[in-house]
Homo-oligomer: A and B are copies of this chain.
Amino acid sequence: MTKTNPIVHGLMMDVPLTIPSLLTFAARYHSETEIVSCTSDLGRFRYNYAKAQRRAGRLSNALRRLGIKRGDRVGTFAFNDHRHFELYFAIPALGAIVHTINPRIGAEALSYIVKHADDKLIFVDPSLLATLHGAIPDFPLERLVILTGDRTLAGQYPGILIYEDLLLNESEDFALVDIEEREASGLCYTSGTTGMPKGALYSHRSTVLVAMAACAAGAMAISGAETVLPVVPMFHVNAWGVVHASAMAGAKLVLPGANLSASALTPLMDDEAVTISVGVPTVWRDLLIHLDETGRKPRVLSRLVMGGSNPPSEMIDGFELRHGISILHGWGMTEIGGTGSIGTAHHGSSQLADADKRKLKLKQGHALWGSDLRLIDDAGKEVPADNTSSGHLMIRGPWVVGGYFGNDDNSSFENGWFRTGDVARIDADGFLEITDRAKDVIKSGGEWISSLAIEAVAREHPAVADAAVIGIPDPKWQERPLLIVVPRERHTVVQDELLDFVGARLPKWWRPEGVVFSDTLPRNANGKVLKTALRDQYVI
């Protein structure tokens, strides 16, 4: 070993990266910038960052009075509105942890999660109270807070707390503890397609870094010039960091509440001059149909970020070519805590022809500094980023989980990398193309067939509303693809014609063995197709 000098530290201020500092900053320097919020008791409510901080301050004092201490989990079962926003900052101010719960997760998982997280309090939207109480009937009512100022429901639930009552007599100064940046700030459970949910425990540091990354011009470019409407739920991976980023940048924030229909979103986008909105393709599909029908787009909407699942090319083209709205296709997951990759401009692709640029939009974007990606094969050997080789996608970075909350299962963590469970290709510029979940990939004759690629092609057929592909055992090839199709209403599909359509657009040996028709596809709480259920049904 060579002789080494001692470490010399830089002489910079040791200011931690903390979540409350984002709101304090916005309240000070973007005091009048608006937050607009849709709730059942107030309709379309509006205030600003300065007022939001004062209410978050009151809330933090109320939480302390209710006994919330450092490290405690506080549940939220709520939509995107200003009270959820206040909880986002008031809970971490105390060193406590915002545990966001997906309202669509189902009674069994919900009950498991609340017990596993050991939530001390749960804040619940009035419209979700019956669901929550039904799933966890033993959870004391005096530890439930209804997110409202309306006392109508309180009579039916004796002892339950009303959010606005909590805030009445509190001081506006944040009940702030001296936060360490690696301290836990948020908890979000995966809604796994297999097994019980696992908790990602975010820190102040990871959340602030995610927000900084979201503000980058090469990512979502959230700045003080923007008005941001997060359709992606605040209960899901901190709404991909968009809410924290908006406070950091001083962007106007529009929180749409529970109604995400195109007919609710478009007037909101119009009235509030929304410039950028962020969400999943399912919501954007409805929006596109609405825009096509009405023939006009929200007046200043210029960008839609989509992630969570892959948008079909016709959707991207529809928004971009017919309505002049840019699509940013990104990728992330609960375990990443924010954006893993995003399809912004890259010097390597700037010389491409328009058609090739459009093709690139179908990929999940390119890697961003801070989310390092690599591919490995089944033996753990690195696979080249050559746009052709597939491998298991691994990720590493300061906003990636290094373990699960209260869970000893470390099978997803290997040598400092997180195994995403996705199978992907990466090109020389870092553009990522997820071809499958590892457990859904079809292994045929020693090669991998991408179920996602077949599904994408099948959905391009005019008679197909939705499609899923699973592997079925084959004596010769090990597995072969089976195509499951939901036909579009008032359309007929002929099996052979569909197989020819799909087969002509893919490698010859990827042509599915058969088609089955179904009225619907089973999905989990985040809208992902449950292929396990399909395999149970179709694999004999």
Contacts and interface: CB of A to CB of B under 8 A. Distances in A.
Interface stretch (A211-219, A258-266, A515-523): A211-219
Contact of A397 (B6, B15, B223, B401): B15
Most B CB contacts (10 A, CB to CB) among A8, A69, A337 go to A8
Given A5-B72, A7-B71, A430 B29 contact: yes
Contact of A337 (B12, B344, B366, B428): B12
Interface in A403-455: 403-405, 416, 418, 428-430
Contact of A223 (B184, B216, B249): B216
A53 interface: no
Given A215-B215, A225-B347, 11 more contacts: A7-B71, A11-B405, A12-B401, A14-B398, A25-B372, A28-B372, A30-B429, A212-B213, A215-B217, A221-B221, A225-B346
Contacts of A161: none
Contacts of A17: 398
A72 B203 CA distance: 33
A39 to B, nearest CB: 22
Contacts of A430: 28-30
Nearest to A97: B8
A185 B11 CA distance: 10
B402 A13 contact: yes
A194 interface: no
A34 B3 CA distance: 38
25 contacts: A4-B69, A5-B72, A5-B95, A8-B97, A10-B201, A10-B204, A11-B184, A11-B403, A12-B202, A12-B205, A12-B400, A12-B402, A13-B400, A21-B369, A30-B346, A32-B347, A32-B428, A212-B212, A217-B221, A218-B223, A218-B224, A221-B221, A224-B346, A249-B369, A250-B346
Interface of A is mostly: loop
A254 to B, nearest CB: 12
Interface residues of A, number: 89
Interface of A: 3-17, 21-22, 25, 28-34, 69-72, 95, 97, 177, 180, 182-185, 200-206, 209, 212-213, 215-218, 221-226, 248-252, 337, 344-348, 350, 366-367, 369, 372, 385, 396-405, 416, 418, 428-430
Nearest to A68: B5
Given A5-B71, A69-B5, A10 B366 contact: no
Contacts of A397: 13, 15
B200 A11 contact: yes
Contacts of A385: 28
Contact of A217 (B4, B177, B222): B222
Most B CB contacts (10 A, CB to CB) among A9, A22, A366, A403 go to A9
Nearest to A73: B8
Nearest to A373: B29
B401 A13 contact: yes
A180 B7 contact: yes
A250 to B, nearest CB: 6
Contact of A185 (B10, B31, B95, B209): B10
Contacts of A221: 217, 221, 223
A240 to B, nearest CB: 16
Given A30-B430, A223-B216, A249-B218, A6 B71 contact: yes
A11 to B, nearest CB: 4
A69 to B, nearest CB: 5
A7 B183 contact: yes
Given A17-B398, A401-B12, A347 B30 contact: yes
Nearest to A16: B398
Most B CB contacts (10 A, CB to CB) among A4, A16, A203, A250 go to A250
Given A8-B184, A12-B203, A222-B217, A347 B33 contact: yes
